[in-house]
Amino acid sequence: MVIALTTLIPLCVPFERRKEAARGGATFNGEQKCWMAHRDKLDALLPFVPYRYRPDRKARGGPHFSDRAISYHLA
């Protein structure tokens, strides 16, 4: 049995653009009341990805979030 663990990240989706986010693969988490997406499938969702989670961002020696910290926060 193979279990795939991917990291979900929260998205910033304005109410009027929720259909666009859904088409891009985002899902609404009713329990947490926010839109979520898999970290490895963000291409179509870049307009909604918070700055610190964008793939083009690099840590600059300051505090940054690891996948483990994000997973813990969302659990």
Does some domain include residue 41? yes
| Domain boundaries, position 46 | 10-56
- Give the model's pLDDT for residue 64: 52
For residue 34, is it within any domain?
A: yes
Indicate whether 25 belongs to any domain. yes
Answering whether pTM is above 0.75, one says: no
Domain membership flag for residue 5? no
Q: Residue 65: inside a domain, yes or no?
A: no
Domain assignment present for 44? yes
Domain count, the chain: 1
Q: What is the pLDDT of residues 3-60, one digit of tens each?
A: 555 688 999 999 999 999 999 999 999 999 999 999 888 888 999 999 888 878 765 5
- Residue 51 to residue 64: CA distance in whole angstroms: 12
Residue 69 lies in a domain: no
Is there a domain that residue 71 lies in? no
- How far does CA 23 lie from the centroid of its chain? 15
